[in-house]
Amino acid sequence: MLPVVATAGPGDGLAGTKHDFSNLGGGSGVVRCAVCHTPHQAQTQQLLWNRAENGNTYSWSDPKTIGGTDYPTFTATYQGASAKCLSCHDGSVAVGDVGWWNGGPVISSGTKITGANQIATTTGDMTGNHPVAMPFPWNGVASSYNGSTTGAEALHSGWQGDPESLGIVLFTDDGAGNISKGATLGQTGIECTSCHDPHNGSEVQDVFLLRGLLGSNSADYLCAKCHAK
């Protein structure tokens, strides 16, 4: 079952968004958070992730961006949030297919995401989507992140020095595969959650759970929060 009509406004919190899964499990509300997180029996320690295993490998058809940065290849075990989003948004696993809640497995089959909200193909092809799980040249310095390093030409593009001050979330790869929130010189990257907040928290400014405006000439315009164009 997919969520009912989204009624929450930008920044109003999870309830009433398309990520409000309180109607899963017969409308009892029990899987509201547990469709993604569980306090026990989690699949991964990080984020206490509760999604059924997904065997996909995600990649882009192009080897590099126009700036010369390698597009990465990653699987469901990649720690960055993008792999978590794709555990539903590749349309390969049912939304209700969660691991553990209320003292038992809550595996239910049911609807998979299709149509506009399906971001990768069911076999993991990301072609046509903005880079994610990719380095960001924080403070104008090349970064290495998820096995990819900012290309020399990408440094010549116009960048905001500090997108975090504009409400964007950046991430650090410690070089050993551990991803955490916050920028570090030379080790910074972006994920789906750099642009979207899955919980519709107070930094969300527009529809689609966006951390910036969909259309504007102001500093709040989403694309301009990272690209200085």
* Distance in angstroms (rounded) separating the CA atoms of residues 158 and 224: 10
Q: What angle do CA 61, 207, 87 make, to 5 degrees?
A: 45
Here's the x/- map for ligand HEC, 5-44, by CB under 6 A: it reads as -x-------x---xx-x----------xx-xxx-------
Interacting residue with ligand HEC among 28, 53, 110, 208 (CB under 6 A):
208
Q: Which one, of 158, 166, 171, 172, lies nearest residue 210 by Cα?
A: 166
DSSP 197-209: -TT--TT--BTTT
**Which residue number, 84 or 100, has a Cβ lying nearer to ligand HEC?**
84
CB 219 within 8 A of CB 210: no
Nearest distance in Å: CB 26, ligand HEC: 17
CB of 103 to ligand HEC, least distance (A): 18
Cβ closer to ligand HEC: 117 or 175? 117
Footprint on residues 98-127 left by ligand HEC (CB under 6 A): 113, 115-117, 119
15: which residues sit within 8 A by CB, 6+ positions away?
8, 22
Q: Is 135 helix (H, G, I), strand (E, B) or coil?
A: strand
Q: Rounded CA gap, 42 and 38, in Å? A: 6
Give the footprint of ligand HEC on residues 71-90 (CB under 6 A): 81-82, 84-89
Contact between 199 and 18 (Cβ < 8 Å): no
Which residues, numbered 138-197, are part of the site for ligand HEC (CB under 6 A)?
150-151, 154, 163, 168-169, 190-196
Name the minimum Å distance from CB 25 to ligand HEC.
13
Least distance from C-beta 175 to ligand HEC, angstroms? 18
**Cβ atoms of residues 68 and 151 within 8 Å:** yes
Q: The tokens of 149 are what?
A: 């390093």
Site for ligand HEC, rule CB under 6 A: 2, 6, 14, 18-19, 21, 32-33, 35-37, 47, 65-67, 69, 81-82, 84-89, 95, 113, 115-117, 119, 130-132, 134, 136, 150-151, 154, 163, 168-169, 190-196, 198-199, 207-210, 214, 222-223, 225-227
